[in-house]
Structure 1
């Protein structure tokens, strides 16, 4: 089985990259051999390397069009590469991937995980839509990451007959249990209680509304991560005099999990459908933390169920966000109960092992329907 996505860990740290790695590292437990094709910005990293149980094929990124990375060498070589595999697993969106499939891999059985609608590039979307439609028609099976996204995506509405849902799953990392010294250091720096945000600081994360929400409170907030909106958000915090908001920058897994173990809850104010799922919500649930998120019709409300695992508020609404934070802050017993239910729900629906098991079964189903054998791997000869 060959997975295809535009970027990979550790060069970029998004949720899709984590899904790709989890499938690549665990699929062998279900007798599925996995390899990954991706692009890299640093040409020195291009080539083939063994990453534990899977092989990674990196191709140099030559240029970008409307935030879409392109590799001319991959375009030339993909058809031959695809023929070596029993099945291809695409991770959408990446329009260049559509071209790769239609130009040389359309005969290979295929599964596509539909991670998100294309939200921001509306001008380019009008030009791309015919290609997108043809690509989605040609793949054998499409997977949505939540029933919420399946129900609300206008694109997926056209493909219900070959569409299923497999939730994103996550397993505890080696840093899940923080060492006591690291936890003490963060407690000393941030104080006994605080809310936490973790993620790349992007336009759809809604952090400008979070800063507005805490303007008239003294509830401490720690923000982990950086990104395109980082400078603007720091300037906004300075202008609002938010000395109780701490921008901590990019941290390693050990520090991230230390903060997750210490915080009162996770605040996740993403306000646009570009936030299709929210891996950070799963990480908070693993630590039995209550969550605050916005209702945007995506998987965020599948992970964080209103009134069950946390609170769900209207998007882009600082007042509603503030009220939710105040409520959890002032009702710690309720917050603890919500967190325990979040942990139970994580164990029931969102483990990495469950996700890999579901995909392995789907791979066999699709491969068998195409006339293949039961074992998936790289074709020999």
Structure 2
């Protein structure tokens, strides 16, 4: 079985989706399948310095980059489309990542024309908040183009139970739930925080609260500012670390949120952290906070929990299972609720530590890429059988 994964970007400036796509390619390749990944050199305002139009061996999969034009996450690549026209018939399954993308739409149209099964992973882009943000553009695109492509997809992969409910409310019944995961090996041992302290010395000897994600309106930083201000007044040793890229020029607005809340001097903006420095930041932190209005299924939440941190996340993070397992505090996306949860953890450090230990065990036992890859392989096999039988009565909608 030959599987082609396509995503408009793998540049780290686009956040978690870029990492998810590469991690799942590794996990699928580790199961012995032929995995090819095609993408572009887009990386928001920058470009990836890569070789074009050649297969690059990544160990468990191959990747091929194409030159592109982009404005933020609107990405076009004539060379990628040309390659698809010539080569799409070489694959048994096409797996597309993200929606609201012309490159993805053209890929899906080709799959329909060539009768190749395709799986769509929207990564939370069909969530109510996501659809309402810049809705005038999205409504037009969705109703004219996206809805039909989703209807004709072989399956829609959603990554959380709540996302499945939202997808179903839009009229789509052909879905399967396969969550994101983490690489167990990356979290087998906790990192040393020293390299983080050396690069950001103002954080040393502080009780660090870590936000790890893009600086974006949906991330709830407007809620975190007044919440942290209230917490910092009661716990002056606390310090907030905001770690993530500023894709859309939103940083100055976020800095204003904290300035107006009169706590900007207790906040460090690190920019995007990757590799050892990111793991050092996780090791240095005492608490992890995700105040988001909307998520698909946040990779950084999984990383925070796998690091054994006490995690406070909102209902917008689509992870009620963490509350059921008593592995995180889940609150409504409101400043007072976030502040109350932070205060509780800071006031009850032993209970917070125990919750962090439960979180680490919960993630490592249930949310790994190996588990997700095995479920995806079952889906791919099912789609091949269904396509060969052309049996429209077959249904794979389930909570996997």
TM-score in terms of structure 1 length = 0.87
Structure 1 residues 102, 248: CA separation in 2 closer, same or farther (over 3 Å shift)? closer
Query: How far apart, in 2, do the equivalents of 1:259 and 1:134 lie?
Result: 43
Give secondary structure in 1 for the equivalent of 2:323. coil
Which one of 323, 326, 334 corresponds to residue 308 of structure 1?
326
Are 1:220 and 2:239 an aligned pair?
yes
| Partner Cα distance (1:295, 1:43) in 2 | 35
1:98–1:131 Cα contact (<8 Å) kept: no
Paired position in structure 1 for 2:153: 139
Instruction: Give how far 1:278 is off.
Output: 1.1
Root-mean-square deviation (CA, aligned residues, Å) is 2.5
Question: Equivalents in 2 of 1:103, 1:214: separation in Å?
Answer: 47
Equivalent of 2:80 in 54, 74, 81: 74
Cα displacement (A) at 1:324: 0.8
Alpha-carbon distance change, 99 to 39 in structure 1, aligned in 2, over 3 angstroms: same
CA contact (8 A) 1:210 1:269 kept: yes
In the alignment, which of 338, 343, 351 is matched to residue 321 of structure 1? 338
User: Structure 2 vs 1, CA of residues 189 and 337 (structure 1 numbering), >3 Å: closer, same or farther?
Assistant: same
Structure 1 residues 204 and 127: alpha-carbon distance in aligned structure 2, compared to 1, 3 A threshold? same
How far apart, CA to CA, are the structure 1 residues paired with 2:75 and 2:382?
32
What secondary structure sits across from 1:21 in the alignment?
helix
- For 2:266, the equivalent position in structure 1 comes to 244
Give yes or no for the alignment of 1:53 onto 2:65. Answer: no
**Cα offset for 1:43?**
8.2
Confirm or deny that 1:158 pairs with 2:160: no
Moved more, 94-103 or 208-217: 94-103
Distance 1:20 1:319 in 2: 35
Give matches, 1:112-131, under 5 Å: 112-116=120-124, 117=126, 118-119=130-131, 120-128=133-141, 129-131=143-145
1:293 aligned to which of 310, 313, 320: 313
Q: Do the aligned residues in 1 keep the contact of 2:213 with 2:243 (CA within 8 Å)?
A: yes
Is structure 2 residue 365 aligned with structure 1 residue 355? no
Whether contact under 8 Å (2:210, 2:282) holds in the other structure is yes
Asked if 1:280 corresponds to 2:338, the answer is: no
Alignment-derived partner of residue 90 in structure 1 = 96
Question: Deviation of residue 183 (structure 1)?
Answer: 6.0
Residues paired across the two proteins, number: 363
2:119 counterpart of 1:111: yes
Say whether 1:29 aligns with 2:30: yes
Partner of 2:19: 18
CA–CA distance in structure 1, aligned partners of residues 108 and 364 of structure 2: 39
Matched, 1:182 2:190: no
For 1:317-365, what per-residue CA distance to the aligned partner results, in whole angstroms no more than 9, with x for missing partners?
2111111111000001111121122112202321111111111121111
Q: Distance in 2 between matches of 1:319 and 1:111?
A: 40
Aligned 8 A contact 1:195 1:263 in 2: yes
Change (3 A) 1:256 1:183: same
SS of 2:33 mapped into structure 1? coil
Is the Cα contact below 8 Å between 2:5 and 2:36 reproduced in 1? yes
